[in-house]
Structure 1
């Protein structure tokens, strides 16, 4: 059971990080040249929260013991 949960946790974290990377690429491409492209705007965009949830779920799953 512990091996399966570890693999699932690694998968969730990896999927979250990869998905967030692609989403940030889309966000940066959608920002117009006249707007400021600060990291604050990119990281707090609402489209990133689903990826943050996946990463957090993977981390919580990896730190819990069954």
Structure 2
């Protein structure tokens, strides 16, 4: 059971990071002017929340084993 939860937690974190990377690429492409392209706007965009939840679920699952 411990091996399965480790694999699942790693998969959740990796899928969340990869998905967030692609989503951030889409966000940067959708912003037209340079003055709006700040890290605050990119990281706090609503489209990233689902990826943050996926990463958080993977981290919580991995810490529950300890």
The interval holding the TM-score normalised by the smaller chain is over 0.9
Residues 29-63 of structure 1 show CA distances to partners (whole Å, capped at 9, x for unaligned) of 00012642000000000000000000000000001
Taking structure 1 as the reference length, the TM-score comes to 0.94
2:44 counterpart of 1:41: no
Structure 2, gaps ≥5 residues long: none
Alignment correspondent of 1:28: 28
For normalisation by structure 2, the TM-score amounts to 0.94
The match for 2:64 is 64
**More helix per residue:** 2
The number of residue pairs the alignment matches comes to: 66
What is the Cα-based RMSD across aligned positions, in Å?
1.4
Counterpart residue number, 1:50:
50
Gaps of at least 5 residues in structure 1 are none
Flag as ranges the 4+ runs of structure 1 deviating above 6 A: none
Partner of residue 4, structure 2: 4
**Distance in 2 (alpha carbons) for counterparts of 1:18 and 1:5:** 20
In 1: Cα distance, 2:65 partner to 2:34 partner: 49
